Amino acid sequence: MRFAESFGGWVVTRHSEVDRVLTEHAVFSSDELRYSAQPIPHGSNPLLRGLQAMDPPRHHAVRRIVSQVFTPRAVASLEPSITARVHALLADAGERFDLIGAVAYPLSVHTIADLLGVQPSRWPDFVRWTEAITSFFGTFTADEARRTAFHQALKEMGDYFREEFERPTGIIATLMASDLTEDELIDFCALLLINGHETTKTLLVNAVLCLTSRPRPDDLRLAVEEVSRYLPATGGTDRFVTRPTMLGGRELRPGDRVVAMITAANRDPEVFTDPHTFDPDRTPNPHLSFGHGIHFCLGAHLARLEVRIALTALFDRPWRITDLDTHRTPVGIDVQKVTVATNPGR
C-alpha cells in the first residue's frame, strides 16, 4: 500500500485489504461530500451522489427499495427476452461484425431500458442519451461540446421520466414507492445506465478477448467469473476514512481518500494460484469485481446473465476475432473496436 499523488490517496492492492475497505463501511465511507478532506470537482455532480455514494442508514433504506428490481428471480425472468434480443442482434450483424457497435452496446443499453419499462420505440433515444452521458464521464478532459451534449441528454431523459412518473408502471412504480425525490429518481435511472451499460459491454468484450481461439468452456458460469477476475470491467473504487485507523501498516487519518484497486486484488497470489493465468475453470474464484459488502453490485446477476447468453449464442457457431483496435489510457487499455467473423472457414 502506498500514497499516490496522482490519485490523491492511498492505493490499496492486497485482496485482504481491498476486501476490508469495501466491507468496513463505518470506517471507509462512500460519502465523498461528507468525509473527503478534498472532494474532487466532479463530486458535486448529483449523478455521482446516487446509491453508490450513500452511507447507512440512507443507503440501507434506498437499497431496500431498488433491490426489489434486481432480485435473482426478477433478473431470471428477463432470460427469454435477453435471449431473443441476442439472437436478433447476431442475425442482423451478419457473418462479420463490430462486436461493440452491433452487439455489446445495444444489448446492454436495451436491456436496462427494457428493465426500466421503456417502450422499444424509445430505445434509440436511450442509446443516444447513454452515449452522450458516458462519453462525458469516460474522458479525462471533457470538452465544451461533450459537456453540452451531456446536459442536453440529461434534460431529455429527465423529461422522458417525468412523463412516465405521471402513469407509473412496473419498475418505475416500485422506485416511486421509495422516498426518493423526482430528481433523485431520474439520477438513479441515469446511474443505472452509466453503471450498468458501460461495465456490461466491457465484460462481454473482455470475455470475447479471453475466449477467442479456445473451445467453448464446459461451464460458462465459471468462465464468466474468471473473465470478471482476470479483466475486470471496473478498475477500482474510492472510499473516505471516517476515523483514525491502521491499514497495511500505515496510519490513516479522517478525510483520507483510499483507492481500493480491484484489478490488483483479483491477482493477489496469496488468494489466487497462478493469478496471471486465465483459467476458465477456476473455482473457487473470490474476485472482487462486483465489489463486496453493502455496496455489492446490484446489477451483477443481470450482467452475468447477459454475457452468458451472448457467449452461448456466439459459441453456437465457429467464430474468431479478425481485427482489434485498442488504445492506451492513463488507467489501462481501452478497446475501441473488435471485429468478429462467424463461420470464418467458409
**Does 133 sit near ligand HEM (CB under 6 A)?**
no
Of residues 55-74, which lie at the interface with ligand HEM (CB under 6 A)?
Answer: 63
Which residue number, 134 or 195, has a Cβ lying nearer to ligand HEM? 195
**Does 35 sit near ligand HEM (CB under 6 A)?**
no
Distance CA 153, CA 218 (A): 42
Compute the least distance from the CB of residue 118 to ligand HEM, in Å. Answer: 13
Look-up: residue for cell 470491467?
Answer: 233
**Strands annotated E in the chain:** 2-4, 9-12, 28-29, 96-98, 236-241, 245-247, 250-252, 257-261, 319-329, 332-342
Which residue number, 90 or 263, has a Cβ lying nearer to ligand HEM? 263
**Does 308 sit near ligand HEM (CB under 6 A)?**
no
Query: In which element (H, E) is residue 16 found?
Result: helix 15-23
**Does 192 sit near ligand HEM (CB under 6 A)?**
yes
Only one of the segments 152-160, 170-178, 190-198, 311-319 lies at the binding site for ligand HEM (rule: CB under 6 A); that segment is 190-198
DSSP state for residue 38 in the 8-state scheme: S
DSSP state for residue 28 in the 8-state scheme: E
Compute the least distance from the CB of residue 50 to ligand HEM, in Å. Answer: 7
Distance CA 253, CA 251 (A): 7
Compute the least distance from the CB of residue 326 to ligand HEM, in Å. Answer: 19
User: How many Cβ atoms are within 10 Å of 259's Cβ, its own excluded?
Assistant: 20
Size of the site for ligand HEM (CB under 6 A): 24
Of residues 267-296, which lie at the interface with ligand HEM (CB under 6 A)?
Answer: 289-291, 295
**Does 263 sit near ligand HEM (CB under 6 A)?**
no
**Does 86 sit near ligand HEM (CB under 6 A)?**
no
- The DSSP code sequence of 104-150 is IHHHHHHHHHHHTT--GGGHHHHHHHHHHHHHHHT-SS--HHHHHHH
For residue 92, give the C-alpha cell. Answer: 442482423
- Radius of gyration, alpha carbons of the chain: 20
Compute the least distance from the CB of residue 341 to ligand HEM, in Å. Answer: 25
Closest CA to 103 of 343, 346, 337: 337
Site string for ligand HEM, 227-256 (x = CB under 6 A): ------xx--x-------------------
Instruction: Note the residues at the interface with ligand HEM (CB under 6 A).
Output: 22, 30, 51-52, 63, 112, 192, 195-196, 199-200, 203, 233-234, 237, 289-291, 295, 297-299, 302-303
